[in-house]
Structure 1
Amino acid sequence: MKTKLTILLLFIFSITFSQGFREKKEKIKAIKIAYITEQLNLTTDEAQKFWPVYNTFDDKQFEIRHNKMKKIINKFENDGIDSVSEKEAKELINQMEDYEDEMHNLKKKYIKDLLKVLPAKKVIKLKKVEDEFNRKLLKQFRGKRE
Protein backbone atom coordinates (compact mmCIF):
# COMPACT_ATOMS: atom_id res chain seq x y z
CA MET A 1 0.00 0.00 0.00
CA LYS A 2 2.76 2.41 0.94
CA THR A 3 4.59 1.65 -2.34
CA LYS A 4 1.44 2.34 -4.38
CA LEU A 5 0.94 5.65 -2.56
CA THR A 6 4.58 6.63 -3.18
CA ILE A 7 4.28 5.77 -6.87
CA LEU A 8 1.02 7.71 -7.11
CA LEU A 9 2.56 10.77 -5.45
CA LEU A 10 5.61 10.62 -7.72
CA PHE A 11 3.31 10.34 -10.73
CA ILE A 12 1.22 13.34 -9.65
CA PHE A 13 4.36 15.36 -8.88
CA SER A 14 5.89 14.57 -12.28
CA ILE A 15 2.69 15.55 -14.11
CA THR A 16 2.40 18.77 -12.10
CA PHE A 17 6.06 19.61 -12.66
CA SER A 18 5.94 18.93 -16.41
CA GLN A 19 2.73 20.95 -16.77
CA GLY A 20 4.31 23.81 -14.86
CA PHE A 21 7.42 23.58 -17.03
CA ARG A 22 5.37 23.57 -20.24
CA GLU A 23 3.33 26.54 -19.06
CA LYS A 24 6.46 28.50 -18.18
CA LYS A 25 8.05 27.59 -21.50
CA GLU A 26 4.96 28.77 -23.40
CA LYS A 27 4.85 31.98 -21.36
CA ILE A 28 8.53 32.68 -22.09
CA LYS A 29 7.93 31.96 -25.77
CA ALA A 30 5.03 34.44 -25.87
CA ILE A 31 7.13 37.11 -24.15
CA LYS A 32 10.00 36.44 -26.56
CA ILE A 33 7.68 36.79 -29.58
CA ALA A 34 6.40 40.12 -28.29
CA TYR A 35 9.92 41.31 -27.45
CA ILE A 36 11.39 40.42 -30.85
CA THR A 37 8.40 41.83 -32.72
CA GLU A 38 8.67 45.11 -30.82
CA GLN A 39 12.45 45.43 -30.93
CA LEU A 40 12.63 44.69 -34.66
CA ASN A 41 9.64 46.93 -35.25
CA LEU A 42 8.12 44.27 -37.51
CA THR A 43 5.28 45.33 -39.73
CA THR A 44 2.23 43.07 -39.89
CA ASP A 45 3.38 41.77 -43.27
CA GLU A 46 6.93 41.16 -42.04
CA ALA A 47 5.69 39.38 -38.92
CA GLN A 48 3.42 37.08 -40.95
CA LYS A 49 6.38 36.03 -43.09
CA PHE A 50 9.05 36.10 -40.38
CA TRP A 51 7.54 33.92 -37.66
CA PRO A 52 7.08 30.75 -39.76
CA VAL A 53 10.75 31.00 -40.85
CA TYR A 54 11.88 31.65 -37.28
CA ASN A 55 9.80 28.84 -35.79
CA THR A 56 10.93 26.31 -38.40
CA PHE A 57 14.56 27.16 -37.68
CA ASP A 58 13.97 27.04 -33.93
CA ASP A 59 12.34 23.60 -34.15
CA LYS A 60 15.11 22.16 -36.32
CA GLN A 61 17.80 23.69 -34.12
CA PHE A 62 16.13 22.19 -31.05
CA GLU A 63 16.07 18.78 -32.72
CA ILE A 64 19.78 18.89 -33.49
CA ARG A 65 20.84 20.22 -30.10
CA HIS A 66 18.52 18.35 -27.80
CA ASN A 67 17.75 15.14 -29.63
CA LYS A 68 20.92 14.38 -31.54
CA MET A 69 23.70 15.99 -29.51
CA LYS A 70 22.10 14.94 -26.25
CA LYS A 71 22.49 11.28 -27.27
CA ILE A 72 26.24 11.80 -27.49
CA ILE A 73 26.40 13.66 -24.18
CA ASN A 74 24.28 10.99 -22.49
CA LYS A 75 26.67 8.32 -23.76
CA PHE A 76 29.49 10.02 -21.85
CA GLU A 77 27.40 10.65 -18.74
CA ASN A 78 25.84 7.18 -18.59
CA ASP A 79 28.81 5.05 -19.57
CA GLY A 80 31.62 7.35 -18.58
CA ILE A 81 34.36 8.43 -20.94
CA ASP A 82 36.72 5.78 -19.62
CA SER A 83 34.43 2.96 -20.75
CA VAL A 84 34.34 4.21 -24.36
CA SER A 85 36.80 2.52 -26.71
CA GLU A 86 39.05 4.54 -28.98
CA LYS A 87 37.01 3.39 -31.98
CA GLU A 88 33.73 4.44 -30.32
CA ALA A 89 35.26 7.79 -29.37
CA LYS A 90 36.23 8.44 -32.99
CA GLU A 91 32.71 7.51 -34.12
CA LEU A 92 31.24 9.90 -31.56
CA ILE A 93 33.56 12.66 -32.74
CA ASN A 94 32.44 12.04 -36.32
CA GLN A 95 28.80 12.22 -35.22
CA MET A 96 29.48 15.47 -33.35
CA GLU A 97 31.13 16.94 -36.44
CA ASP A 98 28.20 15.83 -38.58
CA TYR A 99 25.75 17.51 -36.21
CA GLU A 100 27.86 20.68 -36.14
CA ASP A 101 27.91 20.68 -39.96
CA GLU A 102 24.16 20.15 -39.97
CA MET A 103 23.71 23.08 -37.57
CA HIS A 104 25.98 25.30 -39.67
CA ASN A 105 24.07 24.48 -42.87
CA LEU A 106 20.79 25.07 -41.07
CA LYS A 107 21.97 28.53 -39.93
CA LYS A 108 23.10 29.43 -43.45
CA LYS A 109 19.71 28.42 -44.85
CA TYR A 110 17.97 30.33 -42.07
CA ILE A 111 19.84 33.53 -42.94
CA LYS A 112 18.96 33.12 -46.64
CA ASP A 113 15.31 32.53 -45.74
CA LEU A 114 15.28 35.54 -43.40
CA LEU A 115 16.70 37.77 -46.11
CA LYS A 116 13.71 36.86 -48.28
CA VAL A 117 11.30 38.30 -45.70
CA LEU A 118 13.26 40.98 -43.81
CA PRO A 119 15.72 43.72 -44.71
CA ALA A 120 19.37 42.85 -43.98
CA LYS A 121 19.53 45.40 -41.14
CA LYS A 122 16.69 43.66 -39.30
CA VAL A 123 18.33 40.26 -39.82
CA ILE A 124 21.50 41.57 -38.18
CA LYS A 125 19.52 43.26 -35.42
CA LEU A 126 17.67 40.00 -34.72
CA LYS A 127 20.84 38.38 -33.37
CA LYS A 128 21.41 41.34 -31.04
CA VAL A 129 17.77 41.29 -29.88
CA GLU A 130 17.85 37.54 -29.21
CA ASP A 131 21.06 37.89 -27.20
CA GLU A 132 19.55 40.75 -25.17
CA PHE A 133 16.41 38.72 -24.49
CA ASN A 134 18.43 35.69 -23.38
CA ARG A 135 20.61 37.84 -21.08
CA LYS A 136 17.53 39.40 -19.48
CA LEU A 137 15.92 35.99 -19.07
CA LEU A 138 19.06 34.55 -17.49
CA LYS A 139 19.42 37.55 -15.19
CA GLN A 140 15.81 37.18 -14.07
CA PHE A 141 16.26 33.43 -13.53
CA ARG A 142 19.40 33.97 -11.46
CA GLY A 143 17.64 36.65 -9.42
CA LYS A 144 14.85 34.24 -8.48
CA ARG A 145 17.28 31.52 -7.46
CA GLU A 146 19.28 33.72 -5.09
Structure 2
Amino acid sequence: MKTNKLILIFCLIFSVHSFAQPKMEEKKEQIRALKVGFITNELKLTADEATKFWPLYNAYDDKQFELRHQKMKAFKGRMEADLDKMSEKEAAALLAQMESNEDELYQIRKKFVTSLKGILPSVKIIKLKKAEDDFNKKLLEQYRNKGPRR
Protein backbone atom coordinates (compact mmCIF):
# COMPACT_ATOMS: atom_id res chain seq x y z
CA MET A 1 0.00 0.00 0.00
CA LYS A 2 2.81 2.43 0.91
CA THR A 3 4.63 1.47 -2.27
CA ASN A 4 1.61 2.43 -4.39
CA LYS A 5 1.36 5.80 -2.65
CA LEU A 6 5.08 6.41 -3.13
CA ILE A 7 4.79 5.57 -6.82
CA LEU A 8 1.85 7.96 -7.17
CA ILE A 9 3.66 10.75 -5.30
CA PHE A 10 6.79 10.21 -7.40
CA CYS A 11 4.74 10.33 -10.58
CA LEU A 12 2.99 13.53 -9.52
CA ILE A 13 6.28 15.23 -8.66
CA PHE A 14 7.73 13.95 -11.90
CA SER A 15 4.73 15.33 -13.81
CA VAL A 16 5.19 18.85 -12.45
CA HIS A 17 8.70 18.80 -13.83
CA SER A 18 7.55 17.16 -17.04
CA PHE A 19 5.30 19.94 -18.21
CA ALA A 20 8.31 22.19 -18.49
CA GLN A 21 9.86 19.85 -21.09
CA PRO A 22 9.22 20.84 -24.71
CA LYS A 23 9.56 17.46 -26.46
CA MET A 24 6.36 15.56 -27.25
CA GLU A 25 8.00 12.14 -26.85
CA GLU A 26 9.15 13.07 -23.37
CA LYS A 27 5.66 14.26 -22.50
CA LYS A 28 4.18 11.04 -23.81
CA GLU A 29 6.52 8.99 -21.62
CA GLN A 30 5.83 11.18 -18.62
CA ILE A 31 2.08 10.84 -19.10
CA ARG A 32 2.57 7.10 -19.39
CA ALA A 33 4.46 7.07 -16.07
CA LEU A 34 1.63 9.01 -14.45
CA LYS A 35 -0.87 6.58 -15.90
CA VAL A 36 1.07 3.58 -14.58
CA GLY A 37 1.14 5.06 -11.10
CA PHE A 38 -2.52 6.00 -11.21
CA ILE A 39 -3.71 2.61 -12.47
CA THR A 40 -1.45 0.70 -10.07
CA ASN A 41 -2.84 2.71 -7.18
CA GLU A 42 -6.47 2.40 -8.28
CA LEU A 43 -6.32 -1.35 -8.94
CA LYS A 44 -4.15 -2.11 -5.91
CA LEU A 45 -2.22 -4.65 -7.97
CA THR A 46 -0.23 -7.28 -6.13
CA ALA A 47 3.38 -7.80 -7.22
CA ASP A 48 2.38 -10.98 -9.06
CA GLU A 49 -0.55 -9.29 -10.79
CA ALA A 50 1.57 -6.28 -11.78
CA THR A 51 4.29 -8.52 -13.24
CA LYS A 52 1.74 -10.20 -15.52
CA PHE A 53 -0.51 -7.20 -16.11
CA TRP A 54 1.88 -4.47 -17.26
CA PRO A 55 3.42 -6.24 -20.28
CA LEU A 56 -0.10 -7.03 -21.55
CA TYR A 57 -1.37 -3.54 -20.83
CA ASN A 58 1.60 -1.83 -22.47
CA ALA A 59 1.22 -3.95 -25.61
CA TYR A 60 -2.52 -3.19 -25.71
CA ASP A 61 -1.95 0.52 -25.07
CA ASP A 62 0.67 0.72 -27.83
CA LYS A 63 -1.61 -1.03 -30.34
CA GLN A 64 -4.59 1.15 -29.63
CA PHE A 65 -2.43 4.30 -29.62
CA GLU A 66 -0.98 3.41 -33.00
CA LEU A 67 -4.40 2.66 -34.43
CA ARG A 68 -5.98 5.85 -33.12
CA HIS A 69 -3.16 8.18 -34.02
CA GLN A 70 -1.72 6.73 -37.20
CA LYS A 71 -4.86 5.61 -38.97
CA MET A 72 -6.98 8.49 -37.72
CA LYS A 73 -4.34 10.91 -39.01
CA ALA A 74 -5.22 9.70 -42.50
CA PHE A 75 -8.90 10.42 -41.86
CA LYS A 76 -8.17 13.87 -40.47
CA GLY A 77 -6.82 15.17 -43.75
CA ARG A 78 -9.85 13.98 -45.59
CA MET A 79 -12.19 15.39 -42.94
CA GLU A 80 -10.56 18.82 -43.12
CA ALA A 81 -11.22 19.01 -46.85
CA ASP A 82 -14.33 20.78 -48.06
CA LEU A 83 -16.92 18.19 -47.07
CA ASP A 84 -19.57 19.86 -49.19
CA LYS A 85 -17.53 18.95 -52.26
CA MET A 86 -17.09 15.30 -51.22
CA SER A 87 -19.00 12.89 -53.42
CA GLU A 88 -21.38 10.37 -51.87
CA LYS A 89 -19.07 7.58 -53.00
CA GLU A 90 -16.05 9.20 -51.30
CA ALA A 91 -18.08 9.84 -48.14
CA ALA A 92 -19.31 6.24 -48.07
CA ALA A 93 -15.74 4.95 -48.46
CA LEU A 94 -14.49 7.23 -45.67
CA LEU A 95 -17.35 6.18 -43.41
CA ALA A 96 -16.58 2.52 -44.06
CA GLN A 97 -12.91 3.11 -43.15
CA MET A 98 -13.93 4.89 -39.95
CA GLU A 99 -16.28 2.05 -39.00
CA SER A 100 -13.54 -0.49 -39.71
CA ASN A 101 -11.15 1.46 -37.50
CA GLU A 102 -13.68 1.55 -34.63
CA ASP A 103 -14.32 -2.17 -35.03
CA GLU A 104 -10.59 -2.87 -34.92
CA LEU A 105 -10.29 -0.83 -31.71
CA TYR A 106 -13.16 -2.80 -30.22
CA GLN A 107 -11.57 -6.14 -31.20
CA ILE A 108 -8.23 -5.11 -29.68
CA ARG A 109 -9.98 -4.17 -26.41
CA LYS A 110 -12.01 -7.39 -26.41
CA LYS A 111 -8.89 -9.52 -26.91
CA PHE A 112 -7.09 -7.57 -24.16
CA VAL A 113 -9.93 -8.08 -21.66
CA THR A 114 -10.07 -11.78 -22.51
CA SER A 115 -6.35 -12.12 -21.81
CA LEU A 116 -6.74 -10.26 -18.50
CA LYS A 117 -9.33 -12.74 -17.22
CA GLY A 118 -6.58 -15.22 -16.42
CA ILE A 119 -4.56 -12.60 -14.53
CA LEU A 120 -6.97 -10.32 -12.69
CA PRO A 121 -10.33 -10.84 -11.02
CA SER A 122 -13.28 -9.41 -12.94
CA VAL A 123 -13.74 -6.62 -10.40
CA LYS A 124 -10.22 -5.33 -11.11
CA ILE A 125 -10.84 -5.50 -14.86
CA ILE A 126 -13.89 -3.29 -14.39
CA LYS A 127 -11.89 -1.00 -12.08
CA LEU A 128 -9.29 -0.75 -14.85
CA LYS A 129 -11.84 0.75 -17.23
CA LYS A 130 -12.92 3.23 -14.56
CA ALA A 131 -9.29 4.07 -13.72
CA GLU A 132 -8.51 4.71 -17.40
CA ASP A 133 -11.55 6.97 -17.73
CA ASP A 134 -10.74 8.82 -14.49
CA PHE A 135 -7.11 9.30 -15.54
CA ASN A 136 -8.14 10.67 -18.92
CA LYS A 137 -10.61 13.07 -17.27
CA LYS A 138 -7.94 14.33 -14.86
CA LEU A 139 -5.44 14.75 -17.67
CA LEU A 140 -7.95 16.70 -19.76
CA GLU A 141 -8.89 18.81 -16.75
CA GLN A 142 -5.23 19.59 -16.08
CA TYR A 143 -4.75 20.57 -19.72
CA ARG A 144 -7.81 22.82 -19.63
CA ASN A 145 -6.60 24.51 -16.46
CA LYS A 146 -3.15 25.20 -17.89
CA GLY A 147 -4.41 26.06 -21.35
CA PRO A 148 -2.50 25.45 -24.56
CA ARG A 149 1.06 26.67 -24.55
CA ARG A 150 2.15 29.12 -27.19
TM range, smaller chain? 0.7 to 0.9
1:44: how far off? 1.1
C-alpha displacement of 1:20: 2.2
Please name the residue that 1:3 is paired with.
none
The letter for the 1-side match of 2:50 is A
Query: Deviations 1:104-137 (Å, cap 9, x if unpaired)?
Result: 1111111101112111110001111111112222
Shift of 1:19: 5.3
| Displacement of 1:61 | 0.9
1:127 is aligned, of 104, 126, 129, to 129
Aligned residue number for residue 141 of structure 1: 143
User: Match of 2:44?
Assistant: 41
Query: What residue identity is the alignment partner of 1:125?
Result: K
The equivalent position to 1:29 in structure 2, one of 13, 27, 32, is 32
2:110 corresponds in structure 1 to 108
Structure 1 length-normalised TM: 0.80
Q: Deviation per CA, 1:57-97: give whole Å up to 9, x if none.
A: 111111221111221121121x3212322211111111111
Counterpart of 2:65, as a letter, is F
Alpha-carbon distance in 2 for matches of 1:92, 1:59: 24
Q: How many residues align?
A: 129
Partner of 2:69: 66
Q: Which has the higher contact order (CA 8 A, sep 6+)?
A: 1
Worse-superposed segment, 37-46 or 82-91: 82-91
Amino acid at match of 2:51: Q
Question: What do you get for the CA RMSD once the two structures are aligned?
Answer: 2.0
Q: For 2:95 and 2:136, how far apart are their aligned partners in 1? A: 29
SS in 2 for 1:127: helix
Q: 1:97 aligns with which of 96, 99, 102?
A: 99
- The AA in structure 1 aligned to 2:42 is Q
TM-score of the superposed pair, with normalisation by structure 2: 0.78
Q: Identity rate of aligned residues, in percent?
A: 52
SS in 1 for 2:23: helix
- In 2, the alpha carbon distance for the partners of 1:120 and 1:19 equals 39
Unaligned runs of 5+ in 1: 1-17
Structure possessing the higher radius of gyration over alpha carbons: 1
**Alignment partner of 1:80 is 2:86:** no
